[in-house]
Chains A and B, each alone.
Chain A
Amino acid sequence: MRVSLGEHIFRVCNTLFLSALMIVTMYPILYVAFASFSEPALMMAHKGILWKPLGFSLETYGAVFSNPMILLGYRNTLFIVIVGVALNLLLTSFAAYALSRKTLQYRKQLTLIIVFTMFFSGGLIPFYLLVRGLGITDTLWALILPTAISAFNLIIMRTSFEAVPDALEESAKIDGANDFGILFRIFLPLCKPVLAVVGLYYGVSHWNSWFNAMIFLQDRSLYPLQLILREILIIGEATSMAEGASQDEIIILGETLKYATIMVATLPIFLVYPLLQKYFVKGALIGAIKG
Chain B
Amino acid sequence: MVKNKYLYMMLTPVLLYFIIFHYFPMYGSIIAFKDFNPRLGIGGSAWVGLEHFKDFFGGMYFWRVFKNTLMISLYDLIFGFPAPLILALLLNEVKNALFKRSVQTITYLPHFISLVIICGMIKDFTSSDGVINDIIAFFGGERVTMLLEPSFFRTIFVSSNIWQHIGWGTIIYLAALSAIDLEQYEACKIDGGGRWKQMLHITLPGLLPVFVILLILNIGRIMSVGFEKIILLYNPTTYVSADVISSYVYRIGLQDFQFSFSSAVGLFNSVINFALVIGSNWISRKLNNTGLW
Contact = CB atoms under 8 A, between A and B. Distances in A.
A281 B274 contact: no
Contacts of A121: 22, 25-26, 270
A33 B116 CA distance: 17
B193 interface: no
A122 B26 CA distance: 4
A49 B6 contact: no
A208 B106 contact: no
Interface residues of A, number: 82
A262 B267 contact: no
Nearest to A35: B124
Interface footprint category on B: 35 or more
B114 A25 contact: no
B129 A47 contact: yes
B35 to A, nearest CB: 14
Interface in B174-232: 174-175, 195, 210, 213, 220, 228, 231-232
A266 to B, nearest CB: 6
A47 B263 contact: no
Interface in B79-126: 87, 90-91, 93-95, 99, 102-103, 105-110, 112-117, 119-121, 123-125
Contacts of B274: 119-120
A215 interface: yes
A152 to B, nearest CB: 10
Contacts of B27: 122, 126
Interface stretch (B55-63, B65-73, B247-255): B247-255
Interface stretch (B10-18, B150-158, B236-244): B10-18
B90 A17 contact: yes
Contacts of B231: 211
Given A97-B10, A130-B25, A124 B246 contact: yes
Nearest to B274: A120
Given A7-B195, A47-B134, A29 B109 contact: yes
Contacts of A284: 168, 171-172, 175
Contacts of A21: 87, 103, 107, 166
A114 to B, nearest CB: 6
B171 A234 contact: no
Given A134-B20, A229-B117, A265-B117, 15 more contacts: A18-B99, A28-B125, A47-B129, A114-B18, A120-B26, A121-B270, A122-B270, A126-B263, A126-B266, A180-B10, A208-B116, A234-B232, A262-B120, A265-B114, A290-B292
Nearest 6 Cβ contacts at the A-B interface: A233-B120, A122-B25, A126-B28, A123-B266, A179-B6, A208-B114
